[in-house]
């Protein structure tokens, strides 16, 4: 199918481009080092004396908060700045195919980062007898949540020519999504908003949805939330690219 | 091949392109002339399917750009202004990407990449990262990308901009070679390029189409068209001027230089009509010593200035 071939062509180019510069390697090292440090020290991995990876997964939203914008800031901002967007968008493929290809490339890169955390999985299996199905569910859930972060960040990247601004916008947007679930925001809102709206705001929070995921529970509602968020922001991404063509 | 009808583009209150209409057929090389900011690039971007027109239509090979953009883009080879490229890639990987995006399978892609690379002579830099290449080579990689799928239509935005004279010559030769089989639109503000390469010239100024004609006709508009540059020796200036003024068809005479050794005159032709036969017969009959006699074709600079500052 032409559509799939076009998406694959863009995907391949973008994915390979990650590994040309040191960016990819730096990112991977930082991600894994941070993940490890957070798990073992802040997460009380040893003190808990439980054979699961919950302390590892708990920190994923916060890791993604900074690291996902870092890998997605160049997706569209760079193209617009160097003028290659004009080249890309005069090829016989649709904006949707281009957006999908880039998004999937960034997502695949995140998958690589997640996969490289396998030493943690090995360590928990050596030290105890964890339920590996639960751990696998945790990885899958984290991967889908990363997709949601990526969709938001990629859309932010399409709004500007400057990668740094794209990074900041993406961080801010991601922060809002995480924050909408914390007691800080909810508590403030509780005093003057109707309960329906409070529930609505809380339901947008990545943290709220991730609570179940990090325990290895894949709730259909969480999956639907994340999937529809991804779809929404990819659509917004297409619109942003179209609107920003003449800027 | 390309039909443009009342094409317009507004950026808010700014009218960048104002109801431009023209048509280009196979075998034609159309030169888009105009000052910077006139709307040449914007028009080309609309035809190539990058920008959406505010109004009007553009059709390529019968396909409307708005209704069937993918079909249009498949038939166009487009080189944007400045030849943007992915700096981290090598020409090889870049062309492989373009080939994949254009739907070629591996074997065919290899063949076409080899052909395009040969046509643009980028074989020696094929495996170097693009950001290490010189401007000339970058431009050629951009051209290779446009030629890769052997399109029926080529749209090249300032293809020789920034190249040295040798490189300009090579690119122009390539365009001339391709011209017979394709429809080519190039934009430039180099007037000698128009004469060298194009079979037709359109002048765009202030977003509007000012002139649609051939390079020869453009030259003919020049005051200098068919003027005679005459260098004589052994004559007194005033005598020569007085006598030559009497030659039929001579509208005016300018003295370019004069010393005791010789005089240099410029005879303007009335109505741009050829006067060389009259003048040469005249000087021959007088037995004057002629050191140089040259027919001027016309200065495009002057024509261009008149057209563009007149309507801007």
Per residue in B48-102, pLDDT (tens digit) is 999 999 999 999 999 999 999 999 999 999 999 989 999 999 999 999 999 999 9
More confident site: B297 or A226: A226
Mean pLDDT of B122-126: 92
B65 reaches A (C-beta below 8 A): no
CB–CB of B265/B232 below 8 Å? yes
Sequence ranges of the domains in chain A: 2-246
Count other Cβ atoms within 10 Å, centred on residue A107: 22
Q: For B101, which of A9, A16, A245 is closest by C-beta distance?
A: A9
Q: Do A92 and B103 touch (CB under 8 A)?
A: yes
CB–CB of A30/A118 below 8 Å? no
- B31 backbone dihedrals φ, ψ, rounded to 5°: -100, 125
Mean pLDDT of B1-9: 93
Q: For A87, which of B71, B84, B87 is closest by C-beta distance?
A: B84
Mean pLDDT over the full length of chain B: 89
A8 reaches B (C-beta below 8 A): yes
**What confidence score (pLDDT) does residue B64 get?**
94
CB–CB of B141/B130 below 8 Å? yes
**What confidence score (pLDDT) does residue A185 get?**
64
Is residue B7 classed as helix, strand or coil in its secondary structure? strand
Q: How far is CA B73 from the centre of its chain?
A: 23
CATH second-level architecture of B2-220?
A: 3-Layer(aba) Sandwich (3.40)
H/E stretch holding A164: helix A163-179
The CATH number of the structural domain formed by B228-296 is 3.30.70.1340
Q: How far apart are CA B288 and CA B294, in angstroms?
A: 16
Query: The complex's ipTM?
Result: 0.88
Q: Do B101 and A16 touch (CB under 8 A)?
A: no
Q: For B84, which of A2, A21, A84 is closest by C-beta distance?
A: A84
Q: For B73, which of A5, A84, A92 is closest by C-beta distance?
A: A92
CB contacts under 8 A, B 93-152 vs A, are: 93, 97-98, 100-103, 145
Enumerate the residues of chain A whose CB falls inside 8 A of the CB of residue B78. 87, 90
Interface with chain A: mutation pick from B11, B54, B101, highest number of A CBs within 10 Å: B101
Mean pLDDT of B159-182: 88
- B214 backbone dihedrals φ, ψ, rounded to 5°: -100, 160
Q: How far apart are CA A236 and CA A229, in angstroms?
A: 10
Selection from A231, A246, A241 nearest residue A95 by Cα: A241
**What confidence score (pLDDT) does residue A49 get?**
77
Q: What is the model's pTM?
A: 0.87
A243–chain B nearest CA distance, Å: 10
Q: For A90, which of B71, B73, B89 is closest by C-beta distance?
A: B73
* Dihedral sign from CA coordinates of A163, A166, A172, A175: negative
Q: How confident is the model at residue B234 (pLDDT cuts 50, 70, 90)?
A: confident
Q: How far apart are CA B102 and CA A6, in angstroms?
A: 8
A49–chain B nearest CA distance, Å: 48
Q: Give percent of chain B with pLDDT exceeding 70.
A: 98
B48 reaches A (C-beta below 8 A): yes
Domain with CATH 3.30.70.1340 in chain B: 228-296
Q: How confident is the model at residue B235 (pLDDT cuts 50, 70, 90)?
A: confident
pLDDT < 50 positions in chain A: none
């Amino acid at each position: 199918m032409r559509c799939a071939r076009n998406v694959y062509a863009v995907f391949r180019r973008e994915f390979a481009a990650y590994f040309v510069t040191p960016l990819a390697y730096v990112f991977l090292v930082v991600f894994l080092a941070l993940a490890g440090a957070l798990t073992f020290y802040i997460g009380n991995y040893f003190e808990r004396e439980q054979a699961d990876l919950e302390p590892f997964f708990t920190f994923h939203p916060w890791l993604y908060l900074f690291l996902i914008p870092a890998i997605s800031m160049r997706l569209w901002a760079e193209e617009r700045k160097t003028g290659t967007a004009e080249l890309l968008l005069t090829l016989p493929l649709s904006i949707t195919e281009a957006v999908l290809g880039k998004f999937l490339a960034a997502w695949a890169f995140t998958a690589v980062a997640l996969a490289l955390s396998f030493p943690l999985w090995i360590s928990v299996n050596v030290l105890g007898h964890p339920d590996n199905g639960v751990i696998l569910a945790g990885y899958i859930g984290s991967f889908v949540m990363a997709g949601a972060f990526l969709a938001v960040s990629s859309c932010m990247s399409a709004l500007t020519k400057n990668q740094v601004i794209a990074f900041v916008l993406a961080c801010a947007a991601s922060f809002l999504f995480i924050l909408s679930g914390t007691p800080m925001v909810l508590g403030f809102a509780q005093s003057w908003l109707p309960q329906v709206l409070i529930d609505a705001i809380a339901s947008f929070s990545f943290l709220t949805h991730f609570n179940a995921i990090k325990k290895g529970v894949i709730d259909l509602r969480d999956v639907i939330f994340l999937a529809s968020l991804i779809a929404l922001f990819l659509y917004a991404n297409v619109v942003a690219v179209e609107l920003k063509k003449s800027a | 091949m390309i039909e443009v009808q009342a094409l317009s583009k507004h950026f808010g209150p700014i009218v960048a392109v104002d109801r431009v209409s023209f048509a280009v057929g196979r075998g034609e090389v159309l030169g888009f002339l105009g000052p910077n900011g006139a709307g040449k690039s914007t028009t080309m971007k609309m035809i190539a399917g990058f920008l959406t027109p505010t109004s009007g239509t553009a059709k390529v090979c019968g396909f409307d750009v708005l209704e069937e953009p993918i079909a249009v883009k498949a038939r166009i080879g487009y080189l944007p202004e400045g030849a943007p490229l992915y700096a981290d890639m090598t020409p090889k990987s870049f062309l492989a990407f373009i080939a994949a995006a254009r739907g070629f399978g591996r074997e065919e892609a290899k063949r076409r990449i080899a052909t395009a690379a040969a046509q643009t002579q980028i074989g020696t830099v094929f495996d170097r990262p693009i950001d290490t290449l010189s401007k000339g080579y970058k431009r050629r990689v951009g051209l290779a990308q446009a030629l890769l799928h052997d399109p029926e239509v080529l749209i090249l935005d300032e293809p020789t901009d920034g190249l040295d004279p040798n490189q300009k010559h090579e690119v122009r030769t390539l365009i001339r070679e391709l011209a017979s089989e394709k429809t080519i639109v190039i934009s430039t503000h180099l007037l000698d390029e128009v004469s060298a390469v194009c079979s037709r010239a359109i002048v765009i100024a202030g977003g509007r189409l000012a002139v649609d004609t051939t390079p020869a006709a453009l030259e003919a508009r020049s005051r200098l068209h068919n003027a005679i540059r005459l260098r004589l020796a052994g004559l007194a200036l005033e005598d020569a001027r007085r006598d030559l003024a009497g030659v039929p068809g001579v509208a005016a005479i300018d003295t370019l230089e004069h010393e005791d050794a010789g005089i240099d005159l410029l005879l303007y032709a009335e109505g741009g009509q050829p006067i060389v036969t009259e003048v040469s017969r005249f000087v021959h009959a007088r037995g004057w010593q002629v050191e140089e006699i040259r027919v001027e074709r016309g200065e495009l600079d002057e024509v261009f200035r008149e057209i563009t500052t007149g309507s801007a």
